Structure 1
Amino acid sequence: MKEEFLHYLWKYKKWNSFDLKTTGGETIVIANVGQYLEQAGPDFFNAQITVANQKWAGNVEIHLKSSDWYVHHHEKDAAYDNVILHVVWEHDTEVFRKNNTEIPVLELKNYVDNEVLVNYQQLVAPKSWIFCEKQLKDLDDFVLKNWQERLFFERLERKSKAIYDLLEQTGNDWEAVLFCMLAKNFGLNTNGELFLKIARSIPFSIIRKESFEVENLEALLLGKAALLDFDKEDTYFKDLKFRYFYLLHKYQLEPHNEGNVQFFKHRPDNFPTIRLSQLAHLYHKEQNLFSKIIAVYSVEEVYQLLRSTTSFYWESHYQFDKVSPDKIKKMSKSFVDLLLINTIIPLQFSYAKSLGKEITEDLMAMLTTVAPEKNAIIDKFTFFGIKATDCFETQSLLQLKNEYCAVGRCLDCGIGLELLKNG
């Protein structure tokens, strides 16, 4: 048993309240269990109870055993001086305040129905993937849908924090934030952080000025990615390298020091050369991209806006000095979907929030028209009985797995609480 389970029992009053008594035999009446703090200090703040006809207002501390009070050294911490009730599963020792008065103890195991314990044991039974995997297929659809909506907005809030951090770093320039976020997501998991560093190393004012010549943008991005550091016979390579060092001198930029991009394990269409060329071409093609992105609320408009291609050279190359069969390398629909999920939707949410506007229904509606993501986590949920039908649902399931299942937060989870209630 974990202490979090006792927090759940106390918070939701999952005990038989008739004839509650302390371990000393005094009658207890619970008027208010208090506020669950989930921070340093006592577990529940400002509870209201009556012990032996004496009314008390103060804090409640919860432990598996009474002796845990001393294991955690609460007797030395002034934050616990105002504890009026010690709630434990098993009482094994008395606990005293600094003035030597004894803190009343409620031994909870005497007042909890066996059915509640059985449901908890089923929830935390041995697992192959997540604790509730065997019960998911029987979960009420209404409970799941409501919880998925909450999870989706939690995920947006988490992503918006990174956006506001970037906004502060760029002097409140939303266009620059968009450029950084797009760069990161053009790099995917392997090169994402490096692409972000590259984007942050180039003031966006320079991107604006040089966007009229796509070769200049390519030179800056490829140069900063250390892809122009070598000597090659390719004429286009030599031109980009000349432009890169000219632009470094023109704008007094530092040469790259962000690291080396990775080609390993990427399909050729995801090579950093191709993705950086597509990013350069996007900013060459679309002026004032941020204002356009903020104004779109249909997936088709996003596809139209972001389906960028490469410069002509890359139609017959994936790397410098290595000719490949001709192919126009437009960004695929699935890649634009990734940009929509990880850049466009979070940015629209954050920008609207900064203006005090509510657009969450629009964002949900947009994602319900996008095909579900395909990855190992979504495959596992499908195997255990939850099949996602769109991108809104897959984003919610990713939040569920990463922020709840993976860290054992079953008692904070809408699904976990429902399973505890109904078994």
Structure 2
Amino acid sequence: MNENLLQFIWRFQYFNKLNLFTVQGDPVEIIHPGTLNTNQGPDFSNAKVKIGHTLWAGTVELHIKTSDWSKHGHNSDDNYKNVVLHVVYEDDVPRNDLPVLELSGLIPGILIRRYNSLMQSQRFIACEQLIHKVDGLTINSWKDRLVAERLHRKAMLIEDYLCGNKQHWEESFWWLLARNFGTKTNAETFEAIAKSISIKLLARHKSNLIQLEALLLGQAGLLNRAKYQDKYVLLLDKEYAFLKTKYKLRTVVFPVHFLRMRPGNFPTIRLAQLAALIHNSAHLFSRIVEEPQLTEVKKWFAVAPNDFWNYHYTLIDDPKFLKKPIGEDMVNNIVINTVVPMLFAYGNKHHNGAIKEKALQWLEAVLAERNSVTRGFQQLGVLNKNAYDSQAFVELKTQYCNHRKCLSCAIGNAVIKST
């Protein structure tokens, strides 16, 4: 038994409530268990309990043992003066000044055993052997909550961006877009590159693709190397040296990584594609906000870098022709991880429900993601129809399952209480 489980049991009243008595011998009737308090003070507020013939309204404090009250220093804490009931799993010391309700012996043993089994599970998710018993309505409504939580968390990152660039939405979009072009491996580096080159500076050189490539590759620290012999690379190096001096740029300190990456995800290719996207677009986020059709937006991202990259994956490749446009998978990734979070954050910031709804609809319109998390849930028979489902599964796995937060999860709740 731990306090999290005890709070869960009290909150949902998963114990035998017939013929309840305090340890002092007074009959107890629980009118309302109260509201879980996540701030300082007693565990539950606004509770109503009838003890003897008296109806009490106030707070309820929970502990594993009665002696924990004094161990936690509640005797001298004014926050605990309005406690009307002390709920414990085990009454280990006598108390005469406060009613104590002992739950040991009132809780179904199977509930405790099932919880302990979940906490000790080493499977993909703790409840994978029981999730098939959870009804579809519970899972679908929990997906909605998970997607909302995920988008609100991402909105917090965007809010940090806005605080750092004086509420400039286009600049923030550029930073997040670059971060996602870096994929998980180079996300921090690509974000640093974006922050080192303002969108205003990029706009000045928007018409010159070579200069855009020079800026991005140069800031990544990939130019100015004596081993390069290719005329195009030497041209990029020359352009970057001029622009670096002109704008007093500082190369980012984060390294770029190539190791264990597919060639199509090499940072050189992604930076070249990013340069092509800047070259072919203007006021991109403003256009996205106004555009009603996702299919149109996806066309804007389906660009290709210049001809040099048709023969190269890096700056020193042997020539082998292969066109390298931004593919459908990457476009979908951009929609999921850049477009939708930015739209949702924008709608949230401006109290515009229509834009938030558009973000959710676009998420449902994108193909389901294929990764280790979604494959794991699919193997358990949980449908992964679109990116909305995928994002819900990723949030569930990373924010709940990996941390064994089963008591805070609707699916975990359903599994534990189905005793």
TM-score range relative to shorter protein = over 0.9
The SS at the match of 1:48 is: strand
1:347 aligns with 2:342: yes
**Residues 169 and 71 from structure 1, CA distance in 2 versus in 1: closer, same or farther, beyond 3 angstroms?**
same
Matching residue within 248, 251, 260 for 1:256: 251
Tell me if structure 2 keeps the 8 A contact 1:3–1:64: yes
Tell me if structure 2 keeps the 8 A contact 1:23–1:106: yes
2:57 corresponding residue in structure 1: 57
The letter of the residue matching 2:85 is L
Structure 1 residue 116: Cα displacement: 4.7
Structure 1 residue 216: Cα displacement: 1.4
What does 1:343-382 align with in structure 2 at a 5 Å threshold? 343-359=338-354, 360-382=356-378
The letter of the residue matching 1:244 is Y
Identity %: 35
2:18 corresponding residue in structure 1: 18
1:338 corresponding residue in structure 2: 333
1:286 aligns with 2:281: yes
1:383 corresponding residue in structure 2: 379
1:185 corresponding residue in structure 2: 180
Deviations 1:354-408 (A, max 9, x none): 2211144433332233222111111221222223122111110111111111112
Which deviates more from structure 2 when the two are superposed, residues 210-219 or residues 48-57? 48-57
Tell me if structure 2 keeps the 8 A contact 1:137–1:384: yes
1:328 aligns with 2:311: no
- How far, CA to CA, are the matches of 1:191 and 1:384 in structure 2? 32
Matching residue within 141, 150, 155 for 1:155: 150
- How far, CA to CA, are the matches of 2:317 and 2:118 in structure 1? 56
Which deviates more from structure 2 when the two are superposed, residues 209-218 or residues 101-110? 101-110
1:2 corresponding residue in structure 2: 2
- How far, CA to CA, are the matches of 1:407 and 1:298 in structure 2? 38
What does 1:192-341 align with in structure 2 at a 5 Å threshold? 192-231=187-226, 232-253=228-249, 255-341=250-336
Deviations 1:18-73 (A, max 9, x none): 33211010122333322211233211123232333334333211112212223433
Tell me if structure 1 keeps the 8 A contact 2:341–2:359: no
Tell me if structure 2 keeps the 8 A contact 1:119–1:422: no
The SS at the match of 1:317 is: coil
- How far, CA to CA, are the matches of 1:410 and 1:125 in structure 2? 12
The SS at the match of 2:21 is: coil
Structure 1 residue 119: Cα displacement: 5.5
The letter of the residue matching 1:402 is T
Runs of 5+ unmatched residues, structure 1: 96-100
1:406 aligns with 2:380: no
Structure 1 residue 75: Cα displacement: 3.3
The letter of the residue matching 2:87 is V
Deviations 1:241-299 (A, max 9, x none): 2221221222233x213222111111111111111111111011011111122234444
2:78 corresponding residue in structure 1: 78
Tell me if structure 1 keeps the 8 A contact 2:22–2:99: yes
The SS at the match of 1:318 is: coil
The letter of the residue matching 2:365 is T
1:417 aligns with 2:413: yes
1:42 corresponding residue in structure 2: 42
**Equivalenced residues, count:** 417
Taking only aligned residues, the RMSD between alpha carbons, in angstroms, comes to: 2.0
- How far, CA to CA, are the matches of 1:247 and 1:127 in structure 2? 54
Structure 1 residue 148: Cα displacement: 0.8
Tell me if structure 2 keeps the 8 A contact 1:318–1:324: no
1:145 aligns with 2:175: no
- How far, CA to CA, are the matches of 2:261 and 2:15 in structure 1? 56
- How far, CA to CA, are the matches of 2:357 and 2:370 in structure 1? 24
Runs of 5+ unmatched residues, structure 2: none
- How far, CA to CA, are the matches of 1:123 and 1:361 in structure 2? 36
- How far, CA to CA, are the matches of 2:278 and 2:375 in structure 1? 36
Tell me if structure 2 keeps the 8 A contact 1:273–1:319: yes
Structure 1 residue 189: Cα displacement: 0.7
Structure 1 residue 139: Cα displacement: 2.1
TM-score normalized with structure 1 length: 0.92
Structure 1 residue 117: Cα displacement: 4.6
- How far, CA to CA, are the matches of 1:273 and 1:179 in structure 2? 18
Tell me if structure 1 keeps the 8 A contact 2:26–2:52: yes
- How far, CA to CA, are the matches of 1:409 and 1:117 in structure 2? 15
The letter of the residue matching 1:372 is A
